[in-house]
């Protein structure tokens, strides 16, 4: 780094530039009074096709794939670069103004669930699926779920930000977070050398949480950072990623709230995506 930064006695916000500079502020709460759209299904998801959002759409699609018809959902795109996460309706669901946010209307009293890990656990418990009931399997699953929640900021807000989004490239933060990202991959690789999935031999919400993050990097997110990080070295992570890549629910879930499918209101919505040949690149990931 060419310039040495000396922090002032009291920090003051400054224009930092970069992709997120237009929406980042040191305050919370609604910036615009505006309600959210609502569909007909028991679950209303407000999200975006980022790794944290994809966790939940894959979970819903896995539930539907397994025959849980009561898990039908409407998925509405929240355009975070346009500040829609700061609409009053969204802030009512998630005071932290981050996607995803869920409105559960399946019972007598609708209620909110926010934070992707909380949503996965809520749905798993509600439908008794992908979360073991008894210990030690339950404890192992929740441990890996929370491992992912704790490590994601190092990958996204850390490595991804300084490698891809920061207005200037600096060696120290890139090295710092590249090292941590590789360590995270090594933790997963060591575990997956012993087990088929993170928490054992069965798919769980721990895999659904970790897969969008590790899978995206493994397949070259952040302008081909897989080469920069030598992610091919983590062969057990690669085997696990490709296995989940090929699951029909994962294929569908990765399309929801993206440019290919901004909204999802029924299984029939995927037919239009199929007609435009937008499924094929997603299907091919397992063979990459």
pLDDT in tens, 168-208: 999 999 999 999 999 999 999 999 999 999 999 999 999 99
> In this predicted structure, what is the pLDDT of residue 95?
98
> In this predicted structure, what is the pLDDT of residue 21?
75
> In this predicted structure, what is the pLDDT of residue 209?
98
> In this predicted structure, what is the pLDDT of residue 28?
96
> In this predicted structure, what is the pLDDT of residue 29?
96
> In this predicted structure, what is the pLDDT of residue 2?
56
Residue numbers of the chain with a pLDDT score lower than 50: 1
Cα–Cα dist 223/165, whole Å: 10
Instruction: Pick one of 3.40.1160.10, 3.40.50.150, 1.10.3720.10, 1.20.1050.10 as the CATH number of 137-254+267-280.
Output: 1.20.1050.10
Q: Please state, as a whole number, how many other Cβ atoms lie within 10 Å of the Cβ of residue 160.
A: 23
Backbone angles phi, psi at 169, to 5 degrees: -95, 125
Contact assessment for residue 140 and residue 125, using Cβ atoms and an 8 Å cutoff = no
> In this predicted structure, what is the pLDDT of residue 288?
59
pTM of the prediction? 0.94
Buried b (16+ CB within 10 A) or exposed e, 253-285: bbbbbbebbeebeeeebbeebeeeebbeebeeb
């Amino acid at each position: 780094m060419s310039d040495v930064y000396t922090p002032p006695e009291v920090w003051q916000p400054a224009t930092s530039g970069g992709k997120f500079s237009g929406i980042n502020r040191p305050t919370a709460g609604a910036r615009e009074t505006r309600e959210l759209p609502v569909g007909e299904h028991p679950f209303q998801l407000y999200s975006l096709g980022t790794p944290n959002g994809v966790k939940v759409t894959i979970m819903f699609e896995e539930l539907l794939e397994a025959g849980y018809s009561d898990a039908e959902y409407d998925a509405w795109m929240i355009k975070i670069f346009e500040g829609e996460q700061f609409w009053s309706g969204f802030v009512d669901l998630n005071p932290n103004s981050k996607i995803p946010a869920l409105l559960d209307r399946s019972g007598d009293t609708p209620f909110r669930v926010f934070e992707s890990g909380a949503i996965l656990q809520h749905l798993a418990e509600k439908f008794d699926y992908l979360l073991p009931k008894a210990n030690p399997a339950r404890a192992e699953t929740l441990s890996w779920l929370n491992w992912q929640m704790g490590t994601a900021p190092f990958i996204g807000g850390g490595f991804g930000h300084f490698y891809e989004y920061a207005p200037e490239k600096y060696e120290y933060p890139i090295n710092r977070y590249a090292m941590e990202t590789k360590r995270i991959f090594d933790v997963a690789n060591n575990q997956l050398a012993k087990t088929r999935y993170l928490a054992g031999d069965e798919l769980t919400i721990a895999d659904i949480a970790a897969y969008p993050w590790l899978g995206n990097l493994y397949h070259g997110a952040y302008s081909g950072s897989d080469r920069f990080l030598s992610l091919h070295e983590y062969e057990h992570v690669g085997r696990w990623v490709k296995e989940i890549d090929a699951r029909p629910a994962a294929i569908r879930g990765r399309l929801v709230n993206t440019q290919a499918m901004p909204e999802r209101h029924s299984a029939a919505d995927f037919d239009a995506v199929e007609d435009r040949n937008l499924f094929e690149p997603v299907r091919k990931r397992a063979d990459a």
